[in-house]
């Protein structure tokens, strides 16, 4: 991933240095788990073995195989004890297990960040529980609602994504030390258990020569879903920031410029960035699905793609979570503008309340519907208050103070927001 969208902590997980360090951790654990072979002095030498990325790259020019180049460099560094490095292993044992370590480390960053976002959305929802705004369906005014209730929906979705990510990263922390074509013929399943227990990873029950790629596809799908949820939230803020609406604005920093040509501009660029990068995550998830079907016990058609999509997807999700937290923490909510927008239809958005009141008074539903539809459309088209039109309608006799009460629409919001307790900080 380009530096523009890579935050340092997660970027450090995916450097060449970090990748080979994870593979080195596997090789050391594998040597330590050998019951007959290396002496204590040999193990000390293996633990002290080092590599440089430059040395591996130079060696790969000869081997045309980066794992073999890595093993050669590491073994040479260990001296005579180096003969026990990679003993009985195949490349996938080291590569897939090292990858599992990297994914485990990425999950340790991303899952808490996803939970933090859910928690902060929940807090913001509680803050705006009584902030009235219009609810929209098809982009058109529908009925009044609470901005807090809108945010609560995003909070609960963010919570589901955090739960899904936790499960996906947990199942991806699965590795295999099963040897060529996965038969365990060289060292056996008990050896695998000893190695992986040292590394804190679970063993793949039946591996072939590689860890099955449905695990990685599941993780990439969970990441893409999380990105889609963040895009949904960002799309809402983008719509609410439009000049004609201007109910909410994403944060705009001191010194920030919205346009190189028009100094008045304050554009929703953070949310637009979220929407754009979320599309990349969905594309990467598709590649993850394509990687599931490999030839026989393995090929490496997945390998080249994974070197791009797994680092990029985790790095981008980290970026999207950080951007979303920035929006939640710093957004400006124009409650006065929300209240003004509620009046744009001259009360037509109370149409269901009027309809129900007429039905409750004894009128047939279709008759009541036709009356309310006619008057509501007249109110909207002519900017005449629906309440005034109802007062002049001979067949209507209602307690209009009760009908035209905004409090009706938010009376159960506090009760609904109690469900946010499932989200823990």
The separation between the first and the last C-alpha atoms of the chain, rounded to the nearest angstrom, is 30
Q: Does 65 fall in a domain?
A: no
Beta-carbon contacts of 94 under 8 Å, excluding residues fewer than 6 positions away, are 23, 26, 27, 30, 67, 70, 71, 86
Q: Does 8 fall in a domain?
A: no
Mean pLDDT computed over 376-399? 94
Kindly name the residue from 197, 259, 301, 304 that is annotated as catalytic: 259
| Placement of tokens 């439009």 in the chain | 242
Q: CA dihedral in degrees (280, 283, 284, 287; nearest 10)?
A: -160
Kindly name the residue from 65, 92, 128, 138 that is annotated as catalytic: 138
Q: Which domain holds residue 416?
A: 344-422
Q: Does 165 fall in a domain?
A: yes
Percentage, residues of the chain above pLDDT 90: 93
What pLDDT score was predicted for residue 257? 83
Secondary structure class of 202 (helix, strand, coil): strand
What pLDDT score was predicted for residue 403? 95
Verify that 261 and 348 share a domain, yes or no: no
Beta-carbon contacts of 86 under 8 Å, excluding residues fewer than 6 positions away, are 27, 30, 71, 75, 94
Mean pLDDT computed over 260-266? 87
User: Distance between CA atoms of 17 and 22, rounded to whole angstroms?
Assistant: 9
Q: Does 208 fall in a domain?
A: yes
Secondary structure class of 297 (helix, strand, coil): coil
Q: Is the pLDDT of residue 424 over 80?
A: no
User: Distance between CA atoms of 69 and 60, rounded to whole angstroms?
Assistant: 5
CATH number where 155 lies: 1.20.200.10
- Total residues belonging to the chain: 425
Residue with the larger pLDDT of the pair 36 and 419: 419
Q: Is the pLDDT of residue 195 over 70?
A: yes
Q: Which of 338, 358, 389 is the last residue of a domain?
A: 338
What pLDDT score was predicted for residue 264? 86
Q: Does 295 fall in a domain?
A: yes
Q: Which of 285, 314, 338 is the last residue of a domain?
A: 338
Verify that 407 and 298 share a domain, yes or no: no
Verify that 188 and 304 share a domain, yes or no: yes
What pLDDT score was predicted for residue 334? 98
Q: Which of 283, 307, 338 is the last residue of a domain?
A: 338
Count of H-run helices and E-run strands, the chain:
17, 6
Residue 76 token pair: 């040479």
User: Distance between CA atoms of 274 and 222, rounded to whole angstroms?
Assistant: 16
Question: What letter would DSSP give residue 203?
Answer: E
Instruction: Using alpha carbons, list the distances in angstroms from residue 162 to 123, 132, 165, 166.
Output: 16, 29, 5, 6
Verify that 348 and 220 share a domain, yes or no: no
Verify that 310 and 353 share a domain, yes or no: no
User: Distance between CA atoms of 211 and 175, rounded to whole angstroms?
Assistant: 6
Q: Does 47 fall in a domain?
A: no
Verify that 235 and 294 share a domain, yes or no: yes
Verify that 234 and 178 share a domain, yes or no: yes
| Placement of tokens 């633990």 in the chain | 47
Q: Is 138 a catalytic residue?
A: yes
Dihedral pair phi/psi, residue 137, rounded to 5°? -125, 140
DSSP per position, 247-286: SEE----TT--S-SS-TT----HHHHHHHHHHHHHHHHHH
For the entire predicted model, the pTM comes to 0.95
Q: Is the pLDDT of residue 188 over 70?
A: yes
Verify that 396 and 309 share a domain, yes or no: no
The tens digit of pLDDT for each residue in 130-164 reads 999 999 999 999 999 999 999 999 999 999 999 99
The tens digit of pLDDT for each residue in 48-96 reads 999 999 999 999 999 999 999 999 999 999 999 999 999 999 999 999 9
Q: Tally Cβ neighbours within 10 Å of residue 54.
A: 10
Dihedral pair phi/psi, residue 47, rounded to 5°? -65, -30
What pLDDT score was predicted for residue 126? 97
CA 64 to chain centre: 37
CATH number where 391 lies: 1.10.40.30
What interhelical angle do 301-330 and 269-290 show, nearest 10? 160
Verify that 96 and 241 share a domain, yes or no: yes
Mean pLDDT computed over 298-322? 96
Rounded (5°) CA angle 338-342-347: 170
Task: Please count the CA atoms within 13 angstroms of the CA of 210 that sit on its side-chain side.
Answer: 22
Mean pLDDT score across all residues of the chain? 96
What pLDDT score was predicted for residue 270? 96
Mean pLDDT computed over 90-109? 97
What is the number of domains present in the chain? 2
Q: Is the pLDDT of residue 112 over 90?
A: yes
What pLDDT score was predicted for residue 425? 57
- Which residues sit opposite 145 in a β-bridge? 133
Verify that 261 and 382 share a domain, yes or no: no
User: Distance between CA atoms of 228 and 154, rounded to whole angstroms?
Assistant: 12
The tens digit of pLDDT for each residue in 221-248 reads 999 999 999 999 999 999 999 999 999 9
Q: Sort 192 into a burial class: Cβ within 10 Å, 0-12 / 13-18 / 19+.
A: buried
Q: Does 383 fall in a domain?
A: yes
Residue with the larger pLDDT of the pair 334 and 394: 334
Residue 346 token pair: 């001259």
Q: Does 186 fall in a domain?
A: yes
Mean pLDDT computed over 198-203? 97
Verify that 364 and 278 share a domain, yes or no: no
Q: Which among 145, 148, 129 has a CA at the least distance from the CA of 352? A: 145
Residue 393: pLDDT band (50, 70, 90) is very high
Contact at 8 Å (CB) between 328 and 148? no
Q: Is the pLDDT of residue 265 over 90?
A: no
Mean pLDDT computed over 30-44? 96
DSSP per position, 121-170: HHHHHHHTTT-EEEEEETTEEEEEEEHHHHHHHHHHHHHHHHHHHHHHHH
Verify that 227 and 365 share a domain, yes or no: no
């Amino acid at each position: 991933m380009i530096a523009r969208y890579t935050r340092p902590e997660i970027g450090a997980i995916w450097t060449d240095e970090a990748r080979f360090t994870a593979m080195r951790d596997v090789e050391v654990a594998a040597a330590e788990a050998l019951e007959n072979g290396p002496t204590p002095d040999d193990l000390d030498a293996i633990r002290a073995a080092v590599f440089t990325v430059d040395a591996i790259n130079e060696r790969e020019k000869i081997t045309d195989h980066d794992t073999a180049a890595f093993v050669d460099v590491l073994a040479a560094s260990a001296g005579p004890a180096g003969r026990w490095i990679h003993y009985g292993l195949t490349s996938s044992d080291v590569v897939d297990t090292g990858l599992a370590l990297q994914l485990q480390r990425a999950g340790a960053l991303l899952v808490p960040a996803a939970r933090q976002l859910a928690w902060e959305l929940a807090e913001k929802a509680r803050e705006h529980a009584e902030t009235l705004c219009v609810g929209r369906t098809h982009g058109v005014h529908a009925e009044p609602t609470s901005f807090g209730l809108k945010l609560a929906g995003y909070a609960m979705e963010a919570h589901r994504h955090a739960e899904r990510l936790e499960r996906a990263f947990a199942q991806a922390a699965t590795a295999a030390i099963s040897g060529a074509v996965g038969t365990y013929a060289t060292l056996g399943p008990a050896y695998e258990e000893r190695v992986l227990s040292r590394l804190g990873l679970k063993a793949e029950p039946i591996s072939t020569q590689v860890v099955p790629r449905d695990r990685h596809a599941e993780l990439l799908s969970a990441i893409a879903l999380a990105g889609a949820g963040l895009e949904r939230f960002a799309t809402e803020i983008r719509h609410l920031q439009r000049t004609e609406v201007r109910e909410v604005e994403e944060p705009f920093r001191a010194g920030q410029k919205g346009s190189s040509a028009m100094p008045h501009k304050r554009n929703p660029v953070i949310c637009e960035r979220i929407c754009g990068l979320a599309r990349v995550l969905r594309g990467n998830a598709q590649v993850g699905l394509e990687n599931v079907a490999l030839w026989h016990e393995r090929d490496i058609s997945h390998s080249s793609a994974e070197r791009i999509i797994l680092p990029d997807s985790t790095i981008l999700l980290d970026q999207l979570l950080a951007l979303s937290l920035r929006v939640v923490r710093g957004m400006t909510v124009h409650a006065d503008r929300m209240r003004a927008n509620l009046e744009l239809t001259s009360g037509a958005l109370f149409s269901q309340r009027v309809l129900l009141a007429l039905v409750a008074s004894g009128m047939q539903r279709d008759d009541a519907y036709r009356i309310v539809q006619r008057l509501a459309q007249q109110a909207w088209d002519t900017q005449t208050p629906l309440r005034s039109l109802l007062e002049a309608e001979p067949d209507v006799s209602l307690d209009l103070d009760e009908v035209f009460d905004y409090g009706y629409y938010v009376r159960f919001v506090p009760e609904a927001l109690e469900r946010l307790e499932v989200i823990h900080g």
